[in-house]
Amino acid sequence: MPSKKKLKVLSEQPVFRKGEPPKRKGERDLIITRKRVKPVPAPSLILSPDEKRKEKALSRMVKEQAALEEASLLANFPKNFLGLETYDWQRNVLDSLEEKECQVALKAANGSGKTSVVAVSAILWHMVRFPQSLVVTTAGVWRQVEGQLWPKLREHVMGLGRGWRATSNELEYANGSRAVGFSTNDAGKFEGWHRQGPTENLLMIVDEAKTVPDPIFTAIARCQPSRLLVMSSPGTASGSFYEAFTKKRKFWDCHTVTAFDCPHLSKEWIDTQIEMYGQNSPLIRSMIYGEFVDDSNEGLVLNQKTLEECIQNPPELKTGMRVAFIDFAAGGDECVFALRNGNKIVDMVTWRERNTNVTIGKILNLIKRHNLAQDEVYADEGGLGLPLCDALMDAGYDIHRVNFGAKPFDSRYSNRSSEMWHTAARIIEKREIIMPDDGMLHQQMVTRRAEVSRTGKLGLEPKDRMRARGLDSPDRADAVMGCISCGGGIGGTWEQFNSMSRLSVGDLMEDAASSFAEDSLPSGMFVGY
C-alpha cells in the first residue's frame, strides 16, 4: 500500500493569536496576499477633458495677469515699456510714486537723471494706466519744460505705439489722458486743475523745485493732486522745497541722491570736482552730495573767506612772465586793463568811455607805458571787443583774442569764460597770486555763482542774471581773472594761451559749433538737472 505523503511541517512554531484554538501538529497558516485597490474619487472631483482644458486656461490667465500687473508697476515701467535701465534709487522713487495720495520729494546731485528717467517714466505711466487722467508739470524756468522734459517725452512716445499727439508743452493719448507743462510765477494759473477720469487721478510734477516760489506750492496743494512729485538739485536752505526735507518731512516721502549713486557719473569726474573746489565747498555739497547750502555761499566760484586768506597771507613774490588782459565794455560798463608780472597783479586801470577812439588811445598808452609786446596782451573780443581788437591790430598790435563763449581747452567746462574763472579761482584758493587792494574788485570776485550744465560741465552765472540780482557787470573781475589764468608763470595756469594766435572767422564758427555740440545730451547717457 502506497505510503501517504506527509505535509511539510513548518520549522517555526505555529502562530497563535489570542482567542484562537491551538493548531494541531503538522498544520500551517494560510497566507493570503491583499490586492491594492485604487480609491474611487468622489463624483464632484472627476473632471471631464473639457473641464480640464478650462482649468488649465484659467490657471494660465491668472499667471499672465499676475505677470502683467508686475510689469505694469511704475518701478518696472521704464525697462519694460521704454527700454530704459534704471538705478536702485530711481526704482525706489518710482515705487514711492506708485501709491495713490502720495507726496514724494527728491533732491539729487546735478546730472543724476531725475528728469530724463524719473519724471518721463511717471508721466507716461500715469497717462497709459489711468484713462482720462491729467498730468500737470511746472518748473521755475520755461527752458526746463520746453528744452529738457518735453523733448524726452516726445522721444519716448514714439516707441509706445499709436494714439499719441505731442506739442511743445502738451501731450495727449488715445485713452483720453492728457499732460500739460508750463512755467509761471503766477499762482493763479494753478487754479482749476482737478482730478479727472473714472479713476479721479491727477499727477503733478514740480521740476527744479528750488526755483519755484512758495505761493506756487500753496496753489498746488489746493488742487489736491492724487500724486505729487517735487524734485530739484538742492539749493538754499529755505523755502517750501527745503521744508519738505526738514520741518514738514513727516508729510513727504523724501529721497536724497548723491553723485556716487549714479554710475554714469564717473569716479574720476567726481574726484576732480572735489579736488577743484574743496570737499566742504558749497558747490560740492550741492553738486556732488545733494545737500542744501547756505544762501550766502550758494554755488560761488570763489567765496569771501578764500579770497581774504589769499589777500592776508600772500605768497612770496616771483617775477616772470607778464600778462595783460583787457575787458572792453559798452553801455556804460567799465573798461578794465589788468597786468600781471609773475605771480603779482601789478596794475589795474578802469575807465568809462563811449568813444571807441578814446578807448583805443588809452590802451595804446598803457601798452607803451609798460613796454608790452603784443604777445603779452590778451583781450575779450566779444561784442565791442571785436572792432577794438581790429583797431589795435591796425596799430601794429596783433594781440591774443579771447572769445568768452568759445570752446574751452578743458572739456570739463562749458566755455572759455568759465574755464578762465574757475582756473583763476583755484590759483587764488592755493594762495599762489598776490592780489591788488581794490574793494570793488573783491566784491565782484565773490558774488558770481557757478552753474552746472545738464551735461555736467562747469559754467558761470550769466551777466544778465547777475544784474537781475542787483549786481553790476563783473568787468574788473573778468580782467583780473583773465590775466591770472592766461599765459604762464604760475603753476596750474592756462599755458595753452602762450601760443594762441589771432582766430580766423572759420575758427570762430568752428568754436561756436563745438560749443553747441558740447552742450547737447550725450547719446545713451541719462543726465539732467
In this model, does residue 489 exceed pLDDT 80? no
In this model, does residue 427 exceed pLDDT 60? yes
Range name among 2-16, 156-170, 202-216, 429-443 with the lowest pLDDT average:
2-16
Per-residue pLDDT band for 156 (boundaries 50, 70, 90) equals confident
Per-residue pLDDT band for 226 (boundaries 50, 70, 90) equals very high
In this model, does residue 22 exceed pLDDT 70? no
For 273, 283, 305, 306, 332, the CA distances from 278, given in Å and listed in that order, are: 8, 9, 13, 11, 37
How many CA atoms lie less than 13 Å away from 395 in the CB half-sphere?
Answer: 19
The predicted-structure confidence for 174-194, as pLDDT tens digits, reads as follows 889 999 988 766 666 777 788
In this model, does residue 61 exceed pLDDT 50? yes
Average pLDDT, integer, range 312-319? 88
Q: Give the pLDDT score at 522.
A: 29
Average pLDDT, integer, range 398-408? 88
The predicted-structure confidence for 471-482, as pLDDT tens digits, reads as follows 888 999 999 999
Average pLDDT, integer, range 328-337? 82
Q: Is 7 left (phi over 0), alpha (psi -120 to 50) or beta?
A: beta
Phi, psi of 433 (to 5 degrees): -135, 145
Cα–Cα distance for residue pair 302/428, rounded to 1 Å: 9
Q: Counting beta carbons within 10 angstroms of the beta carbon of residue 247, is it exposed (0 to 12), middle (13 to 18) or buried (19 or more)?
A: exposed
Q: Give the pLDDT score at 480.
A: 95
Strand partners, 236: 293
Q: Give the pLDDT score at 179.
A: 93
The listed range with the strongest mean pLDDT (232-246, 488-502, 509-523) is 232-246
- All three cell numbers of 150, joined, read 518735453
- Sorted by sequence, the CB contacts under 8 Å of residue 410 that are 6+ apart come out as 419
Mean pLDDT of the chain: 78
244 SS3 class? helix
The predicted-structure confidence for 236-251, as pLDDT tens digits, reads as follows 777 888 889 888 888 9
Tell me which residue has cell 486656461.
57
For 1, 305, 422, 460, the CA distances from 302, given in Å and listed in that order, are: 137, 9, 8, 11
Cα–Cα distance for residue pair 484/421, rounded to 1 Å: 9
- All three cell numbers of 138, joined, read 511746472
Nearest Cα to Cα of residue 111 among 256, 278, 265: 265
Q: Superfamily assignment of 71-265 in CATH?
A: P-loop containing nucleotide triphosphate hydrolases (3.40.50.300)
Q: Where are the beta strands (DSSP E) in 64-128?
A: 102-108
- All three cell numbers of 425, joined, read 579761482
Per-residue pLDDT band for 521 (boundaries 50, 70, 90) equals very low
Tell me which residue has cell 527745503.
242
Average pLDDT, integer, range 488-508? 45
Nearest Cα to Cα of residue 493 among 440, 405, 414, 424: 424
Per-residue pLDDT band for 224 (boundaries 50, 70, 90) equals very high
Strand partners, 113: none
Q: Give the pLDDT score at 470.
A: 79
Domains of the chain, by residue range, sit at 71-265, 300-518
CATH architecture for residues 300-518: 2-Layer Sandwich (3.30)
In this model, does residue 201 exceed pLDDT 60? yes
Share of residues in the chain with pLDDT > 90 (%):
25
